[in-house]
Chain A
Amino acid sequence: MPADPKLLLAVRHGLAAGALALLLAAPLQAAGPASVPDGLPAATDAGVAPALAADPKLEADMMELSHKLRCLVCQNQSIAESNAPLAVDLRNQVREQLAAGKDKDDVIDYLVERYGDFVLYEPPFKAATLLLWLGPLALLLGGAGWLGWRLRRRSVEVATEQALSATDRERARTLLAGGGDAAPDTASPEFRK
């Protein structure tokens, strides 16, 4: 084997730790708002239903909000994308309330009061969701810290073992030269194995 097996082992450990950190960090991406296509053309929305609001600004606001709200029937769709009757009703509610002059936060609060945080695609940052938001970051930092510690310790170990093998080499040379092994060193790695 051309490479030092110890080094290879260290690299393998490192890769495994890195992969684990990545794997554990992945759900953050999935849970994040990445699934909300903001710039998508309106044609892909289920809201092909006629735009009831004459005001295009209002309609755009309604669609923007709808993309942030989960349809409770088809849970992997927003109420903008879903054609479930409930999604249509909720879109109408959003439109009606915006038209009545409520601002976007009020409309979101109105729906959260009735359907809970589940209606939000982006989970709110609060005590109960602390682990969800910060967990992946903590795992990543923990993994990186652990990896750094391992690598540093390993390089120290390798250095120490090389120093020991130098004395062994000295002993071997004495043995080969025909000298007796007068004092076998019980602390040498040979004996520990």
Chain B
Amino acid sequence: MKAKFLVPLLLFFGLAGFLAFGLTLNPREVPSPLIDKPAPNFRLARLDQPDKTFALEEMRGQVWLLNVWASWCVACRQEHPLLVRMAEQKLVPVVGLNYKEVRGDGAISVRGMALEAETAMAVERGQRWLKDHGDPYLLSVMDIDGRIGIDFGVYGVPETFLIDREGRIRYKHIGPITPESLQTQILPKVEELRRAG
């Protein structure tokens, strides 16, 4: 008889437990299905030398980060000083994916703008931003229309992908990197991948 009274109480605690766990999750962080899969290859024009291209496979053999950024992205500005410090300490090579530099900026309409004109504008804006805020990147490439972003499942800027020597995505960080996430998540994973050979 006594145990029966406990049933609703236990049900309540069970439900409350699930709900409490739900509160700790962030619905904005959608887990990527690309983890442990080969990173989608790309060959894109470089921001520093637009007449040259860079392909993802050129990073083969290295553990590195692909950081998605844009000059119009406010949160990128927030994480940028940390990237600059990381570059100074030579912690890990970072390649920048400049994402929709012109058409992503809500203030600019690209309607009727030729792709060449948009690219030229992207080069000018991107280079100026890196000059103003410091360039922590090994190099940056330009994803003018956001197609490569879609291949990587990018849905907001900034996002950062950790890629191993074989070119597989091993970790995705959504939103600006913080000193805490760098120390507790990214750097330990970089070390682990480097040790794994």
Residues of A that sit less than 8 Å from B by CB: 72-73, 75, 85-86, 89-90, 93, 112-118
Contacts and interface: CB of A to CB of B under 8 A. Distances in A.
B100 interface: yes
Contacts of A118: 30-31
Contacts of A116: 30-33, 153
A86 B68 CA distance: 14
B150 interface: yes
A89 B59 CA distance: 28
A95 to B, nearest CB: 13
Contacts of B30: 72, 115-116, 118
A72 B33 CA distance: 14
B33 A112 contact: yes
Interface of B: 27-28, 30-34, 100, 103-104, 106, 145-146, 149-153, 155-156
B150 A113 contact: no
A117 B32 CA distance: 10
Nearest to B156: A73
A86 B155 CA distance: 7
Nearest to A110: B150
A72 B146 CA distance: 15
Contacts of A113: 33-34
A89 B150 contact: yes
A115 B104 contact: no
